[in-house]
Amino acid sequence: MKRREQLYNKCKENNSETQDHQPNRLLVSLSSQFYMKVVLALLLVSVPIMAGQLVGGWSKLDLKDPVVQEYLTKVEKQYNQESNDKYHHRALQAVSAEQQVVSGMNYKIKYEFGKTNCLKGSVCASDAPVTDKHHVEAKIYSQPWTKTEEITLHPQ
C-alpha cells in the first residue's frame, strides 16, 4: 500500500510540474504563430515592391499594347473636338503609357501630336504633313462592366 501511495504522490508531483510548464509552452506556441504571421505579411508586401510594382500602383504598359493603340484614335478625336484651333491635329504615336488596376482600369498615356494644314471639318489625307509637334497626356478611366469610360486630356 505504501508503494502505491508513493507512486500516486510521484504522479501527482509530475502532473503539477507539467501543468506549471503548460502555460509557458502555450505562450511560446502563440508567440511563434504570431511571428510567422508577421513574417508572412511582410513577405506579401515586400515581394511586389522588390519586383518594382506596388499592389494598386502604376505599372508600365507596352506602347504596342492594343489598348494604347485603341485610345490613340479616341484621344485624337476628343482633342480636335476640345481644341479651339481651326486646324486638325493628328496623334502620331504613343510616347509613354502606364496602367493602374482600380475598380476598373486607369491609364496615363502620353501621345505625340502634330498640327496639319487641314481645316477641321474638311477631309484630311492620312499622310498630310504635320508641324508644331507637341505632347498630350490622356488620363483614362475605364470600367467595361458598367460601360464607363472617361478621358481627360492635358496638352503639354
Domain shared by 77 and 128, yes or no: yes
What are 78-121's pLDDT values in tens digits? 999 999 999 999 999 999 999 999 999 999 999 999 999 999 98
21 pLDDT more than 60? no
Does the reported pTM lie above 0.75? no
Domain residues for 103? 59-155
Backbone region of residue 47 per phi and psi (left: phi > 0; alpha: psi in -120 to 50; beta: other values): alpha
Which residues lie below 8 Å from residue 122, measured CB to CB, with a gap of 6+? 88
Whether residues 104 and 125 fall in one domain: yes
- Residues 36, 17, single domain; the answer is yes
Q: Is the separation of the CB atoms in 86 and 120 below 8 Å?
A: yes
